């Protein structure tokens, strides 16, 4: 059902009026297209005079007779002019006139409100560019009042980080795959519903390859999965290599693709499978390779001890390591952290070169501890406890430490495939002398028989 708008009557002072007069005043009406408007024209003392409605020089009605052939126009409730299904061309001045010697008239102005309509978007809504190019998305809209245009992005923010931005266009510089997607142009002017048009931005780019893990640990008889994440448009072909040898599907080896995730699966791993691999993605715009290593060496060690010692001169350090193959031994490195500004300080990399020279000069790998200058790295070789568990734990009590001091430690683990990558640095501290001590009482038959102070 269309809306019907009635003009507002303005009652005039009718005292001492002998001839015809209007009881309504001229006004401006704002009407939405396709609605119905009634323009009021009430008179008194019309007598034999004729009342006409005009638009410009065109006569619409004369008296009660309709003159215009427009079927949308008619008189109702006397001389009120009704216009149905209002269109934009109906805008203008409408005159209600009484044919006296000096014509009397009132003028109504009709302004047509038009809901927003988007009549142009860039490339019809499908835009394609290459990576690195600059692209401008345009959206032109019409309506009355003139609509405002705002940009947003479906399920994402704009490249600027904003949720929305006003303007008839938006420019994206140095386009990448991260700017691809659906952009929404919304035109609003307060009349009716907003108009929305989508533009799909398609960015073409050479393959971009990432590895899920560049170093993959496995063990003999287990399954290993090497994963490359590949993004490319147009879509790329992905091939797998062992060193320079291209790999094909075998009884123990297969390939799996799920979206951008490409996986090389090796079942029942053998020692000969350990080594260097790579995935190569190739499309019409370029090629990219990423490298992975499949290793039987242990995973990196993770520390799990409290970083604050219970004692002022020793610390019980503990760690855990995952390995499919039993661990044979550990190397523990530790040192006191010097005061700020102390230059007599050997980095771990400097020490490791010194350690390698010393180790290569001796074939004796038995359990030992080497103490160096106060800020040099000390190292301990620890034989592992035989275990078939995947997660293996180890602890060691470091003695002879300074009170109220900061220390740092690193650990390596070795199985029959070799030493793993050294751990991240772990920092711990010792207590101050005189730190509050805990007293444990031993009870027997409800009597104190002894105590222990720690």
Res. 429: pLDDT tops 70: yes
The verdict on residue 219 lying in a domain is yes
User: Of 277, 295, 313, which closes a domain?
Assistant: 295
pLDDT of residue 442: 46
Res. 120: pLDDT tops 90: yes
By C-alpha distance, which of 151, 77, 166, 93 is closest to 121?
151
CATH code for position 407: 2.60.40
| Domain extent at residue 98 | 4-102
* Alpha-carbon distances of 62 from 49, 51, 57, rounded to whole Å: 11, 6, 13
- The larger pLDDT score, comparing residue 249 to residue 19, is at 249
User: What pairs with residue 130 in β-bridges?
Assistant: 204
Same domain, yes or no: 375 and 421: yes
> Which tokens sit at 450?
């002894």
Residue 234 neighbours by CB distance under 10 Å? 10
This prediction's pTM: 0.69
The dihedrals phi and psi of 90, each to the nearest 5 degrees, come to -80, -5
Same domain, yes or no: 201 and 282: no
Same domain, yes or no: 88 and 127: no
Please check whether residue 199 is in contact with residue 183, taking contact to mean a CB–CB distance below 8 angstroms.
Answer: yes
CA 358 to the chain's CA centroid:
52
The Cα–Cα gap between 392 and 299 comes to 11
pLDDT of residue 18: 76
The verdict on residue 314 lying in a domain is no
Give the position of tokens 């307060």: 190
Res. 355: pLDDT tops 70: no
Same domain, yes or no: 328 and 422: yes
Same domain, yes or no: 216 and 153: no
Confidence of residue 448 (pLDDT cuts 50, 70, 90): very low
Same domain, yes or no: 29 and 96: yes
The verdict on residue 137 lying in a domain is yes
The verdict on residue 396 lying in a domain is yes
Res. 410: pLDDT tops 60: yes
Res. 103: pLDDT tops 60: yes
Please check whether residue 398 is in contact with residue 317, taking contact to mean a CB–CB distance below 8 angstroms.
Answer: yes
Strand locations in 73-158, DSSP E? 73-76, 80-83, 92-98, 104-121, 126-130, 135-144, 148-153
> Which tokens sit at 278?
């790579």
The Cα–Cα gap between 415 and 424 comes to 19
> Which tokens sit at 83?
């216009």
CATH code for position 9: 2.60.40.10
Same domain, yes or no: 400 and 345: yes
Same domain, yes or no: 193 and 222: no
The verdict on residue 441 lying in a domain is no
Confidence of residue 17 (pLDDT cuts 50, 70, 90): low
Same domain, yes or no: 254 and 234: yes
User: What pairs with residue 166 in β-bridges?
Assistant: 150
The Cα–Cα gap between 38 and 44 comes to 19
User: Of 155, 175, 205, which closes a domain?
Assistant: 205
> Which tokens sit at 32?
């939405």
User: Of 205, 240, 268, which closes a domain?
Assistant: 205
pLDDT of residue 4: 56
The verdict on residue 446 lying in a domain is no
The verdict on residue 454 lying in a domain is no
The verdict on residue 436 lying in a domain is no
Same domain, yes or no: 221 and 200: no
Same domain, yes or no: 400 and 347: yes
Dihedral, CA atoms, 424, 430, 431, 432, nearest 10 degrees? Answer: -130
Same domain, yes or no: 275 and 348: no
Number of domains in the chain: 4
């Amino acid at each position: 059902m269309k809306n019907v708008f009635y003009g507002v009557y303005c009652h005039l002072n009718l005292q001492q009026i002998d001839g015809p007069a209007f009881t309504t005043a001229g006004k401006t009406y704002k009407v939405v297209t396709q609605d119905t408007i009634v323009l009021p024209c009430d008179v008194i003392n019309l007598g034999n005079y004729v009342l006409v409605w005009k638009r410009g020089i065109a006569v619409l009605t004369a008296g009660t007779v309709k003159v215009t052939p427009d079927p949308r126009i008619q008189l109702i409730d006397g001389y009120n002019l009704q216009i149905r299904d209002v269109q934009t061309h109906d805008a203008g001045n409408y005159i209600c006139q009484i044919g006296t010697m000096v014509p009397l008239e009132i003028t109504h102005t009709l302004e047509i409100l038009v809901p927003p309509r988007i009549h142009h978007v860039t490339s019809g809504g499908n835009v394609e560019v290459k990576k690195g190019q600059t692209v401008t998305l345009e959206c032109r809209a019409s309506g009355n009042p003139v609509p405002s245009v705002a940009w947003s992005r479906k399920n994402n923010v704009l490249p600027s980080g904003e949720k929305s931005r006003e303007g008839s266009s938006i420019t994206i510089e140095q386009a990448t795959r991260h700017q691809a997607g659906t952009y929404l142009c919304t035109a609003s002017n307060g009349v009716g519903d907003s108009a929305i048009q989508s533009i799909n931005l398609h960015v073409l780019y050479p393959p971009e390859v990432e590895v899920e893990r560049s170093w993959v640990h496995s063990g003999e008889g287990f399954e290993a999965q090497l994963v490359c994440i590949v993004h490319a448009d147009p879509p790329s072909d992905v091939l797998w290599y062992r060193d320079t040898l291209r790999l094909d599907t075998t009884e123990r080896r297969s390939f799996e693709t799920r979206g951008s995730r490409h996986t090389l699966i090796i079942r029942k791993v053998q020692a000969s499978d350990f080594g260097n691999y790579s995935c190569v993605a190739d499309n019409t715009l370029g090629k990219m390779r990423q490298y992975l290593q499949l290793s039987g060496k242990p995973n990196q060690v993770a520390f799990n001890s409290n970083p604050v010692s219970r004692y002022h001169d020793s610390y019980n350090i503990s760690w855990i390591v995952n390995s499919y193959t039993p661990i044979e031994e550990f190397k523990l490195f530790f040192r006191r952290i010097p005061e700020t500004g102390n230059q007599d300080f050997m980095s771990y990399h400097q020490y490791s070169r010194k350690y390698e020279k010393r180790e290569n000069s001796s074939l004796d790998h038995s359990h030992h501890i080497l103490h160096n200058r106060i800020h040099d790295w000390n190292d301990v070789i620890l034989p592992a406890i035989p275990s078939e568990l995947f997660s293996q734990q180890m602890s060691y009590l470091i003695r002879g430490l300074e009170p109220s001091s900061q220390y740092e430690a690193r650990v390596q683990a070795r199985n029959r495939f070799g030493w793993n990558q050294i751990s991240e640095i772990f920092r711990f501290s010792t207590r101050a002398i005189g730190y509050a001590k805990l007293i444990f009482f031993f009870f027997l038959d409800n009597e104190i028989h002894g105590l222990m102070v720690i």
